[in-house]
Structure 1
Amino acid sequence: GAVGTIAKAYVSLLNTTTVHNADALHRLVSSRPPGTPLLTVSNHMSTIDDPFMWGFKGFPITDSKLARWVLTAEDICFRNVFMSYMFRLGKCVPITRGAGIYQDHMNEALEVLSTGGWEK
């Protein structure tokens, strides 16, 4: 919802963005069979890059069923109750960097995938 709208405005109005194969990603997100998980991986320079990356033209920003879940640095985004609440609303799963793959929240991420969700 709100983050997607802000991202779309930023990418469309305040930035020059080139997206290669956007139609393929859009098709994978919106047309995969029910229960089919999707895992996407990206590298970014700053913490704001990740949410803004999904504001490109033609990408659904208002359908929460099509929104991705994202592994999010616990030490940055889950510092207090308010931030935790807001990032959880944005479909963020807290991950403790340096704690390896065997941590409680990774089980939550696996649950998202096992039910056909999109994890980024």
Structure 2
Amino acid sequence: MANVQKVLATDAALALIERLKAKYGPLMFHQSGGCCDGSSPMCYPAGEFLIGDSDVLLGEIGGCPFYMSRAQYEYWKHTRLVIDVVEGRGGMFSLEGPEGVRFLTRSSLFTPEEYQQLQDEWNR
């Protein structure tokens, strides 16, 4: 059985990631927990945002690691994150800000089968 993907990106998000990688080099993402920039996916040059034991690696989008705080993940672990792009100003610390667009997190519930597979992984 294939691993359940916890985070995906739309074609528009993948295209933006490629543009940003061409400008800034390797990137990373962290799902903001709602402080200064609300709850939005934040894009940084790889290594610029310090990841610690309190962060969970959800997967990769566009070849870039995507993290979330462990506490926030406990609330969202039953959903798949789908990273998209919309017009407008996003987080002031996120690299896409000058592009006139922002990353946006959409979500969908895992199927019962996917959620069971995730629970089996957690219990290993």
Q: Greater relative contact order (Cα 8 A, min sep 6): structure 1 or 2? A: 1
Q: Could you say which structure has the higher helix fraction?
A: 1
- TM-score when normalising by structure 1: 0.24
Q: Could you say which structure has the higher strand fraction?
A: 2
